[in-house]
Every structure is written in C-alpha cells, then in structure tokens.
Structure 1
C-alpha cells in the first residue's frame, strides 16, 4: 500500500488554479521532498491531503483511504504557522495533541515527557508556552507532532524560523522517523535541506509538477559541467558544447569551465582527452545543486524562484 497517492488533483479558488492536475505517489518509509517557491501550491496540496481543503477534482488516498477521520490517528502534521496555546504548559500541550489523535491521557502524557526530555525540555515541562523562548516553543511543537508515533509525517515548511541548532534537531528527527518506518513528506523552498534528507522529491511551479524522481535523476536534467586544467583546448572532443578559458598561469596551463552536451558522460570526455594525448593537471565534475535544477526547470523569471537561496 502506498503511503500517499494524488491522482490528477486540481484545486481552484474562484478563477485561480492553485493546484493543476497534480499526480504523484509516495512509497512507505520514504523521505519525500515537496519543493517549490512561495505560491507554488505546496501548502494547498498538503491541506487537501489533511482534508482541510477539498479538491476541485481528482483523487487522494492517504494510507490507502480517502482523507478524513479514518486515518487521522496515523498522521502527524506540523503547519508552517505554528499553532500552540500560549497559556498551556508544555506537557499539557503535547498531551492535548496526543488526545486529539486518539491516545489516552496517560499514554499521551508519558510519551510527551519522553519527547520533552529527548529535546532537552524536561525541566521546562510545566512552563507555559508564552514563558518559553521561541526555540523551546518550536521543540514543543515538534513534540506535539510526534507524540502519536505517526505512520505519515506531513511537515509544511518545517525549517521556517528555526535557528541552526533546531534545524539540526529537526533533520535528525526526520531521519530517525524514517528509520523507524514512518513516511515523511515535507515542503520547503530551501533546497539544502532536501539535498541532505530526501530519497525522492517533487518540484512544483505555479501549481504544476515539473519534476518527480530521485536527486540523481534531477541533477541529470542539467548538462554536466567540468573544470579542466590543460595546455590544450578540450573542444577537440565530441560532446563538448562549450569550453570557457578562465585563467592561464605563467607555465601555460589553462583553466577551462566546460559544458557538455545533453546526455554526454564525463568519463567519455576524459577517455577522449587521454586518447588524444592531452595532458591534464585537473579534471573535476561540478556537482549540480537542486537549486540549479530548480532554476533550470522553472526559469529564473518565474514567481516561484523569488527568495530562492543560492
């Protein structure tokens, strides 16, 4: 059984189409990145999965069932807009969220204490949320998300507003949840988190899917780029689209930024240079970032790229 299936899902608000014929599948135990700029349709899609919004058309299956109460106890959700009751204590907050997921008070409270201790908040369990620092409150929100040991974790921009320490904590929790058998889906516009965590990812632009697959498959959408230091031009090799000379040293060694044609394997270029007797001081392949992939697929003028990190 797939953890999540969206089949030709569309959501319109009046004349505006927020999500347009979106289809994808998430397998059990995956860490799945739901990537796109602000306004790409990520939050709207997650809200349909949670049955907060109803799709205009299409089908959604969450853990084999339509969205709704049947599978609510198996879900954990962290919204981008953090929602805690500021007059409630940390432990009462986590217990309350556990009760909403069908846990008994005793079980929710025991699990809450375990989580707060794990997050370094054992001594603050009885403090009110409004007395905690922002970072501490964020840890309470995470504990409330995890209290029911969800089979499917849905995290909407979970790294937003987190300091570096809590970002690391959240990354560790995501990896730990997946190792424990949970499926994790998180939306983000910060590609570095996806690079460190995701098994597979989906790129969304203006409500439409522009890519779904693994990170190597995503990077394969861009032509390979090389850094070559040689006394001879690499343009003699088939498959080299462009070789830009960027530096020359006093001994005649030239540094080139090389772009290969689509589908050209750098190993074939290396073999060609070697067979031609060209001496190389350096031959490096540039590692394409997900941000570069995103800009290539979406375009630098898209509204979805606004605010994207380099």
Structure 2
C-alpha cells in the first residue's frame, strides 16, 4: 500500500509465555492523526515499541516511513514515551537541543530552534530555567518540544496527555495539530476517549491484545444508531402508537432509536395527533459509547476536562 507512514501486519509479542499483543494489523496514512485507543494493559505501549523497533515482534512485520527496519527511520521519527525522562539540572532549552542531537540535529541549531519553539509555546520565561524548576505541565511541554525539534516526519506519542490539566491538554492538542499542518504524521496512544474524538481522523481500538476496530471516528460512531429525545405537551394520546416499540417514557419525555425510515413519519403522526411537540433532538452516539459497544467494557473518563492523572500501563499479561 502507498501513502502510509506506518503499516504492520500480524504483530505478536509474548511475555512469560502470554500474548500481550495478539496479531495486530495497523495502517497509518501519511499526514493523518491516528489514535490507538484502549484501556490500560491493552497492549498499546508494546505495540508502539514494536512499530518503532525498540522491541522486536515474535511474529509479524512492520514498516515505518518506508523502512522495513524501523531503526533506519529513527532520524525522521519523534518519540515521546509514556515514561517521561529529562535531566533535571539541564536548562530547558538545552534539554530540547540535547533530544534533537540524539536524532542527528547539531546542538547549535537545536538550541536556536529550542528558543523559537519555547517562545511560540508561551514558555519564553523558562528558556534558561533548569528543568527541575518547571511545573509538571511545562516540563511535559518541554519534552514534547524536544520530540519535534528535529522536524520529524512521524510523531509517535505514548499517552501524551497523562497527568496534564485542561489548559496544558489544550496546548498539547494545538502543538499536535500544528505539526500535522507542517506535513508530519501523528500516531498517539490514549485511554482517554475525548482526546481521540477531538483530534483523530482515524482510530485503532485495541483490547485484550488485539485490534477490535480500525477506521475513522465517524465509522466507529456509525456502529451505533442515533437516538431521538422527544418532549411533548401531553403525556398520552393516540399518537403514542406511532412511537417505536423501544421507546422509553418518563412522563412527557420520550427516548427511542431513530427509526430506519427516518423521523418524518413519527413527526407526522405526532402532529396529526396533537401531541404538542415541545422539544426534539437527534443525538448521535459518542465515541465512548461506540468504544463500549466494540470492546464490551467502559474506559474511565476524566473529570472536569482533565486527564485522570498518573497511571502505569502494564502491557505484559
């Protein structure tokens, strides 16, 4: 297949005789934002590490930026691991330059770019501060800037929003979109569905070591029917016979799955029967609802727009 930044087929990885990743196929189009979704322990981190060549699969193959040996593509890849790591005594700009140097960027050029990146990210006052003096959100932003300073063609981010407050999450989402606007491809893992719903064009849902869905966000949400929320002036009348059999009633409020023939026949019956329509809404399913339907288990949701905080993903079974 052409036009793919990352492709993989049949990836299997065992730890202590148990399959942590069980036959994963994945295709990431160039220039896209693709999310790998799943609960903690689903195999997301192990999958990303196999794609990058950090660990080898027991079975299967993968290709990154056209390279069958992913490490050959390393200078063109930016990788943000789940386990954050910065030298606390380094000045912030030097830390960014150092990360670029690991990908072949000259230190002097890395420092110049670091200053520009930090100023654009609103961190100009922290350029010469040691990393230990930065807040968690600022330090995480610095590490992300170190991941993009060498202008990679592919960004692989493992749980990049973990532990960030709502403001820093929004800043990070902006940085991700900016990279794609400049021609990069982004692949990131998350257990927080809201981030994928806002950012991603495509998603791969992983559960129990395998891919349960691979496609667009719209296709995932389309797995579930829309629901109609209806409010009427009257609680009863002959028009009630026009409501679908699955209707749930609560006084003068009704909820039912959008009929295959559309809402128009129901509306005609309601109007003819003088139901007195006071409210009508057609609600499309959320990605979280689609996830539960596809995987069979809910994912913990963040509160007040924030990530649920620190966590550790154990990919090995």
Q: Which residue of 2 aligns with 1:251?
A: none
Q: Which residue of 2 aligns with 1:117?
A: 119
Divergent runs of 4+, >4 A: 231-235
CA 1:306–1:221: 2 relative to 1, 3 Å: closer
Classify the secondary structure of the residue corresponding to 2:247: strand
Q: Which residue of 2 aligns with 1:44?
A: 46
1:293 aligns with 2:290: yes
What's the offset of the Cα at 1:287?
Answer: 2.8
Q: Unpaired runs of 5+ in structure 2? A: 304-317
Distance (whole Å) between structure 2 residues aligned to residue 142 and residue 172 of structure 1: 12
Q: How does 1:196-215 map to 2 (within 5 A)?
A: 196-215=198-217
Q: Which residue of 2 aligns with 1:128?
A: 130
Deviations 1:213-243 (A, max 9, x none): 1122111111321102245556536xx3510
Q: Which residue of 1 aligns with 2:257?
A: 259
Distance (whole Å) between structure 2 residues aligned to residue 195 and residue 306 of structure 1: 14
CA 1:208–1:69: 2 relative to 1, 3 Å: closer
Classify the secondary structure of the residue corresponding to 1:84: coil
Deviations 1:89-145 (A, max 9, x none): 112111111111111122211111111111222232222211222222112111101
Q: How does 1:69-84 map to 2 (within 5 A)?
A: 69-84=71-86
Q: How does 1:39-188 map to 2 (within 5 A)?
A: 39-188=41-190
TM-score, length basis structure 2: 0.87
Classify the secondary structure of the residue corresponding to 1:282: strand
Number of aligned residues: 293
Would the aligned equivalents of 1:234 and 1:243 in 2 still touch at CA under 8 Å?
no
What's the offset of the Cα at 1:21?
Answer: 0.8
What CA RMSD, in Å, does the superposition of the two structures yield over aligned residues? Answer: 1.8
1:273 aligns with 2:254: no
What's the offset of the Cα at 1:210?
Answer: 0.9
What's the offset of the Cα at 1:9?
Answer: 1.0
**Greater shift in the superposed pair: 291-300 or 197-206:** 291-300
Q: Unpaired runs of 5+ in structure 1? A: 248-253
Would the aligned equivalents of 1:49 and 1:67 in 2 still touch at CA under 8 Å?
no
Deviations 1:38-80 (A, max 9, x none): 0011111111112111111111000111243321111111111
1:236 aligns with 2:242: yes
CA 1:241–1:97: 2 relative to 1, 3 Å: farther
Classify the secondary structure of the residue corresponding to 2:141: helix
Distance (whole Å) between structure 1 residues aligned to residue 126 and residue 265 of structure 2: 65
Classify the secondary structure of the residue corresponding to 1:269: coil
Classify the secondary structure of the residue corresponding to 2:289: helix
